[in-house]
Structure 1
Amino acid sequence: MGGYDANFNPPLEDKYKCPICLAALRDPVQTKCGHRLCSSCFKTIRGGNWYFRCPVDNTWSNHVFEDNAVKREVLSLKVNCLNSNCVWTGELREQQTHLKNCQFEKIECPNKCKTDVMRLDLDKHLLECPLRLEKCEHCKIEVVVTQLARHHLLMCPKFPVNCPVCGETEVMRENINGHINIISGDCPMVVVPCSFRHIGCMHQDQRCKMSKHYQDMNTQHLMMLSTRLVDLETKHRLDLECCAKKFEILLNELRQRVDNSEKRNMQLENELKEYKLKLGLN
């Protein structure tokens, strides 16, 4: 981290400079020999060792202490804003708070376009930023402005496109599949099957020509329908006859079972009577 980067006014005295980073002391520590360093600079020169050598007079030591008095003095030093054109002055401890709001501070564009602009120019930049978001006029989704044309060309569900079959314009992309659907669509140029396909008419043509086909083939369609109805009636009659035969067979089987059961019951009753007679029971 090192020391403070600041524009001191008056200039920074040497006693407040870190001998390592040459900047204003940040969180200073003092060695036994009386020299001061930034806390982070001290940790760097010490590393993982127990002893360290003072960078000023090469004295070996194993202990430092926090110099809070000098820390307060450094933070009370007067500084000018680091940004040119800004007239702010104040104590060093106030600098960071000021920079967060300074209109002359250069900040990164929030759209990540890798442009640094002064805070006072940010609003203007955001209106021109190549990575700004704009709402698609069709689907209202926000898209990066440089990707808007691609969004329209390939992705926007509401963007009007040409039908690949009939060439009709102003069909929303999300409606194209429905438009050319052979069953429920309304594209006049899509080839569709005859509505009487299920009864044998295998004709297919463009949707716009099917009305003429229905007119021309009206009689044939009625004949096909009549034949189909006769076939269905015949099949239905045969199915009923088959069911009736099966029912008759089942009924006969049930009657036979009932007769057998009755005979068995009579046999058991007779056997019971004989058994009682043998036992002398009445």
Structure 2
Amino acid sequence: MAYNNNGYNVEFLCDVDEKYRCIVCGNVLCYPLQFKTCGHRTCSGCLKEVLRSKSNPKCPIDGVNISIENVEEDEAIHQKILTFEVCCQRHLEGCNWTGLLNDLEKHLKKCQFEIIDCPKGCKEMIERQNIEKHISTNCSKREILCEFCKCSTHYDQLKSHWNACQMYLVSCPNSDECGKIARIDFDRHIRKDCKFKPIFCPFADEGCTYKGKVHDMEKHLEKDHLQHMIIFRDQIANQERIIQKQDEIIHQQENLLQDVLQRNEHSFTYYITEYSKQFNLARKCREHSVIYSDPFTVGKYGYKLSLVIFPNGNGIGKNKYLSVYLQLMRSEYDDILAWPFHCKVTIELIDQNINFDDRKNITFSLIPDKKRKQAAFMKPKNDTFTYFGSSMLASHKQLKARHYILNDTIYLKVVVKPTGDIGV
């Protein structure tokens, strides 16, 4: 700046008369003000210092009282000063410009020796004539190309860019002999290509702790084969202990299953709707003479059974009785159950009387004799089943006498109660 309202801080080419100088700062007047009482002059900026220096300000030259009311601008002196010749403020740095004080500011805006801020924002102050060189070579905000990926970035961001650049060359941690590797290829190199990566012994899962480079592995396998055999032996022994423990657990679970089944009876209820239609079909057509219920199991892991129902009777009950049987079916748990089947079985035809106390259910019960080993109670081996039950559970006359048929529906209930060991 050529001035700051406290006098011009420039070098004039001619001697300047004292009347053009400020009585406070001694510099050539900048925007001069004149005291009406005594005629002395001061810069507009210096007047503030005079007025606030004392409670009763006076002229520094003759002591005349001064107030803001008796001060006026001296435009004539100001215009005269602007015609004085000066040299550039940067003349010591080499600028040869001279001219009127009035033109100094205009010159400074293009003076090649003037110190200005870097336009890239790096916060350095540079002579205007050196700006282009600074931007191209020294500016921390200059644009440069990454030598690896050829992307543009600022010079001061280059290291941060390299930390993420996928083409940046990195070293293999296994050996310097691998040379430099682009970051984008690093993972593949470590996983597949590196000849120096350490690998585990093929018998690591069996307990060998050796870890070495690929070309050393053959030596290890040849040298430590006896150790590997010992590891195998220990592993086999350990597996045998695990199998033994698992067998003990299975045995405990089987015992638990046996205890549960022995303590509880299990029931299954099945109903037939449109019974009159089913009965008539059974009388007229042999193919429709039998009805099979959905399978059910004795508990969660027990025997699997199904009801076999002949509405028009079967065997000695043909045409006169309702015949109801049970058949044993193949189950995924058959191998842990006791055979022959020897649970107590009760088949019950439900009286649907609305008054529960007046009901007279018809029941049939049996306990298989496991010593006889009848086919119906043996472990099923194929899909051809034999069945057991009652050929004369209820006569047709009985069915009509009470409420065994209600809303053309009958209900059958099966209760299975273990009588002894049913597990292996």
Which of residues 112, 117, 124 is equivalent to 1:103?
112
**By how many angstroms is 1:90 displaced?**
3.6
| Alpha-carbon distance in structure 1 between the residues aligned to 2:265 and 2:34 | 118
Deviation per residue, 1:228-248 (Å, 9 max, x gap): 999999999999999999899
Aligned length: 251
In structure 2, the partner of 1:65 is: 71
| Alpha-carbon distance in structure 1 between the residues aligned to 2:85 and 2:359 | 128
**By how many angstroms is 1:101 displaced?**
1.2
- Structure 2: segments with no counterpart, 5+ residues: 270-347, 361-424
CA contact (8 A) 2:12 2:86 kept: yes
| Alpha-carbon distance in structure 2 between the residues aligned to 1:177 and 1:243 | 53
Deviation per residue, 1:9-67 (Å, 9 max, x gap): 55434322112222222233322322211122222233364421211212122335340
In structure 1, the partner of 2:199 is: 192
Q: What amino acid is aligned across from residue 38 of structure 1 in structure 2?
A: C
**By how many angstroms is 1:186 displaced?**
4.4
| Alpha-carbon distance in structure 2 between the residues aligned to 1:30 and 1:249 | 122
**By how many angstroms is 1:266 displaced?**
9.5
In structure 1, the partner of 2:33 is: 29
Larger radius of gyration: 2
CA contact (8 A) 1:160 1:170 kept: no
In structure 2, the partner of 1:270 is: 357
Which of residues 6, 15, 19 is equivalent to 2:19?
15
SS for the counterpart of 2:62 is: coil
**Percentage identity across paired residues of the two chains:** 21
In structure 1, the partner of 2:52 is: 47
- 1:89 equivalent to 2:102? Answer no
Q: What amino acid is aligned across from residue 79 of structure 1 in structure 2?
A: E
Structure whose residues are more often helix by fraction: 1
CA contact (8 A) 1:136 1:142 kept: no
| Alpha-carbon distance in structure 2 between the residues aligned to 1:81 and 1:38 | 21
RCO higher in structure (CA 8 A, sep ≥6): 2
| Alpha-carbon distance in structure 2 between the residues aligned to 1:66 and 1:252 | 123
Q: What amino acid is aligned across from residue 47 of structure 1 in structure 2?
A: R
Q: What amino acid is aligned across from residue 25 of structure 2 in structure 1?
A: C
**By how many angstroms is 1:99 displaced?**
0.6
SS for the counterpart of 1:52 is: coil
Give the TM-score, by structure 1 length.
0.58
- Cα separation, partners in 2 of 1:272 and 1:127, compared to 1, 3 Å: same
CA contact (8 A) 2:170 2:182 kept: yes
- Structure 1: segments with no counterpart, 5+ residues: 274-282
Deviation per residue, 1:180-238 (Å, 9 max, x gap): 86xx364433332246644x252533342377489989xx9xx99xx899999999999
Q: What amino acid is aligned across from residue 98 of structure 1 in structure 2?
A: H
Q: What amino acid is aligned across from residue 55 of structure 1 in structure 2?
A: P
Q: What amino acid is aligned across from residue 16 of structure 2 in structure 1?
A: L
- Cα separation, partners in 2 of 1:252 and 1:43, compared to 1, 3 Å: farther
Moved more, 94-103 or 65-74: 65-74
| Alpha-carbon distance in structure 1 between the residues aligned to 2:353 and 2:246 | 45
| Alpha-carbon distance in structure 2 between the residues aligned to 1:46 and 1:61 | 8
Q: What amino acid is aligned across from residue 76 of structure 1 in structure 2?
A: L
- Cα separation, partners in 2 of 1:167 and 1:238, compared to 1, 3 Å: farther
